[in-house]
């Protein structure tokens, strides 16, 4: 599925959030893309451990609302509609009633997309040549 989306939408950057059990998925996807001669930049990172996924989704919600545009219901294909249902059904719970959401992948992916759009602080410094 990812390979066809890369080709259809000319995607040039993919970011995988990895665990030990999902690293093979990134590797398999990378190989499939190479076989199809598709060469997007592929990045991976581990899930941040300084805040919960739920907090990350909550923190990104204003940017998602303000900066992302979604198709209206009649214009979406089946996968898009399922994705949006996943977004709309997500509820933030108080820490007292917090439970694992079975369907938090869509809002989490939007939070990750917002993070990808934010400029990263970079430090560049000049050094003397060692030779």
Query: Which residues span the domain enclosing 91?
Result: 49-117
124: in domain: no
Rounded to whole angstroms, how far apart are CA atoms 34 and 28? 10
Does 77 lie in the same domain as 25? no
Domain assignment present for residue 15? The answer is: yes
**All residues at 6 or more sequence positions from 47 whose CB lies less than 8 Å from its CB, including other chains:** 17, 19, 53
pTM: 0.74
> What is the full per-residue pLDDT of the chain (131 aa) written as tens digits?
788 899 999 999 999 988 888 889 999 999 999 999 999 999 998 887 778 888 889 999 999 999 999 999 999 999 999 999 999 888 766 444 455 556 788 999 999 999 888 877 667 778 888 87
Looking at the fold, whether 69 and 97 belong to one and the same domain comes out as: yes
d(CA 22, CA 29): 11
């Amino acid at each position: 599925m990812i390979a066809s989306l890369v080709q259809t939408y000319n995607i040039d950057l993919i970011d995988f959030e990895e665990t030990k059990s999902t690293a093979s998925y990134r590797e398999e996807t990378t190989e499939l893309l190479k076989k199809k001669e598709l060469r997007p930049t592929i990045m991976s990172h581990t899930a941040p451990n300084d805040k919960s996924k739920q907090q990350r989704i909550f923190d990104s919600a204003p940017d998602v609302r303000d900066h992302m545009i979604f198709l209206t219901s009649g214009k979406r294909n089946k996968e898009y509609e399922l994705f949006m249902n996943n977004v709309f059904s997500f509820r933030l719970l108080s820490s007292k009633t917090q439970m694992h959401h079975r369907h938090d992948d869509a809002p989490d992916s939007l939070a990750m997309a917002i993070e990808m759009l934010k400029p990263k602080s970079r430090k560049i410094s000049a050094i003397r040549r060692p030779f």
